[in-house]
């Protein structure tokens, strides 16, 4: 294995009840509506109020090999949210841009998390994750702690956490009803 795993853009990831598909320009309005929601957007990086900026971001993303940005869908193809993997540093990655619609089933959070970790650890061969969580985002911080992430420091804006493949294996055992054996990746 290379000492610096790469993030490739899979066209689709299939889990037990969810799928991730690569973001396209057609998703700009959906992403924009999630990011502009005052409740959902308060823990994200600043977003322009101009939809054209979202379209430009997606166009630039399409030419960037350093990340993969997905729409989370249910089995009927209904968009439930977004999730992104980025910032590869040696054998570590970061994931975020994780926004779920208000009416998404409660299981969407854990299944999408398991799918992201499965993709990163089992398919991309990363060994650990580094996470930056806004200090006032208590709900997400508690969720990551439940999954096994541990606090390692802070910046002015964020609490910093780490996670590793061993913790993912433990989490899979505790939550096996939410994930098939392994995520299916379509390139």
* Separation of CA 105 from chain center: 17
The pLDDT score that the predictor gives to residue 20 is 96
DSSP code of residue 76: T
pLDDT in tens, the chain (187 residues): 344 557 878 899 999 999 999 999 999 999 988 887 656 555 555 665 778 888 998 898 888 778 999 999 999 999 999 999 999 999 999 999 999 999 999 999 999 999 999 999 999 999 999 999 999 889 999 999 999 999 999 999 999 999 999 999 999 888 876 666 556 666 6
Cα–Cα distance, 128 to 121 (Å, whole number):
8
Alpha helix positions (H), the chain: 28-36, 38-41, 51-62, 107-118, 138-147, 165-174
Distance CA 175, CA 180 (A): 10
Q: How many helices (H) and strands (E) does the chain have?
A: 6, 9
Q: Give dist(CA 74, CA 81) in Å, integer.
A: 10
What is the tally of structural domains in the chain? 1
**What's the chain's length in residues?**
187
Sheet holding 158-164, edge to edge: 150-154, 158-164, 128-134, 92-100, 79-89, 68-74, 18-22, 12-14, 184-186
Residue 139 counted as domain residue: yes
What pTM value is reported for the model? Answer: 0.88
| Domain assignment of residue 5, yes or no | no
Instruction: With respect to residue 4, please indicate whether it lies within any of the assigned structural domains.
Output: no
Q: Is residue 3 part of a domain?
A: no
Query: Could you tell me the residue range of the domain that residue 138 belongs to?
Result: 12-186
Asked if residue 19 is part of any domain, the answer here is: yes
CATH number at residue 53: 3.40.630.30
Q: Decide if 181 is inside a domain.
A: yes
6 domain residue, yes or no: no
Q: What is the pLDDT of residue 9?
A: 84
Token pair, residue 46, equals: 């600043």
């Amino acid at each position: 294995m290379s000492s610096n795993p790469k993030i490739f853009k899979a066209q689709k990831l299939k889990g037990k009840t969810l799928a991730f598909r690569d973001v396209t320009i057609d998703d700009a309005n959906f992403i924009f509506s999630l990011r502009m929601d005052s409740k959902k957007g308060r823990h994200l990086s600043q977003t322009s109020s101009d939809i054209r900026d979202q379209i430009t971001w997606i166009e630039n993303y399409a030419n960037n090999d350093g990340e993969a940005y997905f729409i989370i869908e249910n089995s009927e193809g209904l968009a439930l949210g977004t999730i992104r993997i980025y910032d590869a540093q040696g054998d570590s990655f970061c994931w975020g841009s994780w926004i779920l619609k208000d009416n998404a089933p409660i299981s969407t959070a854990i299944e999408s998390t398991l799918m992201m970790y499965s993709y990163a650890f089992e398919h991309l061969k990363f060994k650990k994750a580094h996470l930056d969580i806004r200090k006032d985002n208590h709900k997400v911080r508690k969720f990551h702690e439940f999954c096994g992430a541990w606090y390692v420091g802070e910046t002015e804006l964020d609490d910093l956490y780490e996670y590793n493949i061993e913790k993912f294996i433990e989490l899979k055992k505790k939550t096996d009803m939410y994930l098939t054996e392994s995520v299916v990746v379509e390139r």
